[in-house]
A and B are shown apart, each in its own frame.
Chain A
């Protein structure tokens, strides 16, 4: 009747594993017994009401409001500290102690999360020792205290047998009908009964103390007392939570497990939701009876009471998916939004082919606000970037931009992006959308490691970017007031339709492209003005589906999709982005070393007639496995499918004729589209 054991678990109103001894009966409540064997059925409860968590902060929390608990709380309060009192009798059932320290308790109103600055006092009293004997699962077996409680409440218990020693066994079918004990002569004596009231001694109710090892936990009162040790059990279930019997204990003992913690792990005794409240004294007795010392109780883990998933999830918030400043614009235009790289991004506005041709033949807008963006300033800015990037930064003149790879110490590709030089001591760098968080940490770590005098400002979330791309992009910018746009791989500040922008001329799509980096607060206005200005130019926004197709036609890689964890610049064909005559950069030694190793595989381009294979499709050279496809799309401009993928070298050369998804494919050079790059530089 104190919630220590799992014997009274039942399914109440569809929720299983409820301790009925701790549940107030209400009119209409549906109570179903758990099956004798196996788990109870898990009902389909649908989405129940959310359970909220309330956070409390204190210096000391006292768990249990018996005599010793009240004394501990009053003593703490006299010192002027903030005390939180928790009492199961008051509806606050503690289910676990966690690092923090944090004490989690369930209440009728939801969960309480108590954050403790100084001390957790456990004053949970003592629990009756449960009997271990065959039939000890039968209803009608009560502790003496529970029997007295029920009796005083007017519950008819029938013929009651009081038991001060473990019996030989309990007998009965649906409930206890008799108890068999040994008489003075050692013979079995059967006593018919309706209820057995057992009084086998007490053990400290110290599950929370055993859970709080390494945390500031103090145990007081009966919870700190030494446990009574019952006689060694001979048969029956020791751990009702995990269904561990005396025979199981004997089995692991015979296999050499002597330590209480190991016996626990080998049998799973004590790993259930009561965390040893029933089995600990019996297992200690079992081990001591075999000549070992009486070992201290084993560690407990949260939770030591059942909780619903809603209670466990209380106070937990899922990580949100970021929205660009243009999110509402995309949705208003009917975009199909997808989660990509931690952001909601427009996959398509409904007509991907029209979006594609707008880029290739007219002008289009793309939201590239998700790119990582960082300002690097200070006397040490150049030294930092020279160290980070394998490309020469010193030769980059103010107003110029350069494509860069980011390598780790092993020479593998971490990320890529652009470096724009503003002045001798100030740069603007970009990273991939999905890699920007890691890249920022990487940059900050190296700045600190090298003790460089730099200022770093992450602008990913505060600066938006719109890519204006297509053969009519320059014309659109002129209409927006930019008469002198930057040349290819240059950047400059200018007002675009009244919005101050950093204009970066580059190309990921293969057409003339201007990335307009601007304050996020101005983004929606700029987007609308550009769409309006380009109405008669055939302007359309394009989504990610189209962007991926466009960049693939140009053979541009997407780090993380086309690269692997061990992709070197040589393997992906980007040796041109690594200047080994630089005296030093992160990954240089590794690149020098791996360059001496024979290439085993490379990222290569393929083409085939007809529909494209799915990304991840296997590549075959004759009967030999040769690699897999990383990017794949049908190219409307070329009238065939184009792919990037990893390809093994055979006899130190890449095979040319391949089979992908059962169809013939050819290895070809990239870019697939406009290999001279004349359109992007136009």
Chain B
């Protein structure tokens, strides 16, 4: 059974124009005014002095092979995964709000830590 681990990330809430200038690997744009960056983010955000930049440990995640992920998503996901990689997508997966980062050979599943236990049971 895949086990989820707490993921260290940074959440950035800022003006959309300021977020549009952000260039980082694995940048997950979860909303017009919100982005999640895996790992730390030490700098301030140019263009928005009022941005909220917070270390985030509220997500747990696991990397799964692309084949396993495809098979799991086929039975657990009522929306179509993106056809190209790398790509970010989010929505309900097995009834749990999830954020997914798709790469060619693997997929990162992120879920809010309070639901990680249920997600592990459902992915098994």
Residues of A participating in the B interface, judged by any CB pair closer than 8 Å: 52-57, 113, 115, 315-325, 327, 343, 375, 377-379, 425, 453, 455-457, 459, 461-463, 519-522
A320:B96 contact, CB within 8 angstroms? yes
**A461 touching B75 by the CB < 8 A rule?**
no
Which chain A residues border B116 with CB–CB below 8 Å?
Answer: 323
Query: A317 touches which one: B14, B55, B58, B122 (CB < 8 A)?
Result: B122
* Shortest Cβ distance from A370 into B: residue: B114
Asked if B52 lies at the interface with its beta carbon under 8 angstroms from chain A, I say yes
Name the A residues within 8 Å of B34 (CB-CB). 457
Q: Is there a chain A Cβ closer than 8 Å to B37's Cβ?
A: no
Is chain B's binding surface mostly helix, strand, loop or mixed? mixed
B55: chain A residues at CB < 8 Å are 519
Assuming the contacts A377-B50, A455-B52, A457-B54, asked whether A317 and B94 have C-beta atoms less than 8 A apart, the reply is yes
Contact code string B43-79 (vs A, CB < 8 Å = 1, else 0): 0000010111011111100000000000001111111
Residues of A within 8 A of B79 (CB): 115
Q: Is the CB of B52 within 8 A of A52?
A: no
In the complex, chain B residues whose CB is within 8 Å of the CB of A456: 13
In the complex where A456-B13, A462-B56 touch, is A320 in contact with B118 (Cβ < 8 A)? yes
* A320-B115 contact given A457-B13, A457-B54, A520-B58, CB 8 Å threshold: yes
Which chain A residues lie closer than 8 Å to B76 at the CB level? 317
CA of A319 to CA of B50 in the docked complex: distance in angstroms? 35
Q: What B residues does A320 contact at CB under 8 A?
A: 95-96, 115, 118-119
Q: Are A54 and B13 CB-contacts (below 8 A) given A317-B95, A379-B50, A459-B54?
A: no
Instruction: Give every chain B residue within 8 A of A377 (Cβ-Cβ).
Output: 13, 50-52
Contact call A57/B54, Cβ cutoff below 8 A: no
Whether B14 and A325, one on each chain, are in contact in the complex, defined by CB atoms closer than 8 angstroms, is no
Contact assessment for A461 and B50 in the assembled complex, using a CB-CB cutoff below 8 Å: no
Chain B positions 3-41 with a Cβ under 8 Å from a chain A Cβ: 6, 8, 11, 13-15, 33-34
With both chains docked as a complex, state the minimum distance between the C-beta of A525 and any C-beta of chain B, in angstroms.
12
Range, interface on chain B: 35 or more
Complex Cα–Cα for A456 and B78 (A): 29
Asked if B78 and A519 make an inter-chain contact with CB atoms under 8 angstroms apart, the answer reads: no
Interface check B87, CB cutoff 8 A: no
B59 partner residues in chain A, CB cutoff 8 A? 462
Complex partner residue of A322 from B78, B94, B95, B114, CB under 8 angstroms:
B114
Q: Do B113 and A455 touch across chains, with their CB atoms under 8 A apart?
A: no
In the assembled complex, the Cα of A316 lies from the Cα of B122 at a distance in Å of 12
Q: 15 new A-B pairs (CB below 8 Å) besides A317-B95, A461-B112, A461-B113? A: A53-B75, A55-B77, A316-B95, A317-B76, A319-B95, A320-B118, A323-B117, A324-B114, A455-B15, A455-B33, A455-B51, A462-B11, A462-B112, A519-B57, A522-B57
Complex CA gap A606/B75 in Å reads 55
Contact among A52, A324, A459 with B75 in the assembled complex (CB-CB below 8 Å) = A52
**Closest B residue, CB atoms, query A454:** B50
Give the distance in Å from the alpha carbon of A456 to the alpha carbon of B13 in the complex.
7
Question: Which of A115, A319, A520 interacts with B57 by CB under 8 Å?
Answer: A520
Asked if residues B80 and A57 are in contact (CB atoms below 8 Å), the reply is: yes
Task: Give the interface centre of A325, A343, A520, A522 by most chain B CB atoms within 10 Å.
Answer: A520
Most chain B CB atoms below 10 A, which of A56, A315, A455, A459: A455
A-B residue pairs, 7 tightest by C-beta? A462-B58, A317-B95, A521-B57, A322-B114, A320-B118, A378-B50, A57-B80
Q: Which residues of A contact B80 (CB under 8 A)?
A: 57, 115
* Chain B residues with CB under 8 A of A115: 78-80
B21 to chain A, nearest CB (A): 16
Specify the chain B residue showing the minimal Cβ separation from A318. Answer: B95
Residue of B nearest to A521 (CB): B57
Nearest neighbor of B34 in chain A, beta-carbon distance: A457
CA distance A377 to B13 in the complex (A): 9
- Measured between C-beta atoms, what is the minimum distance from A54 to chain B in Å? 5
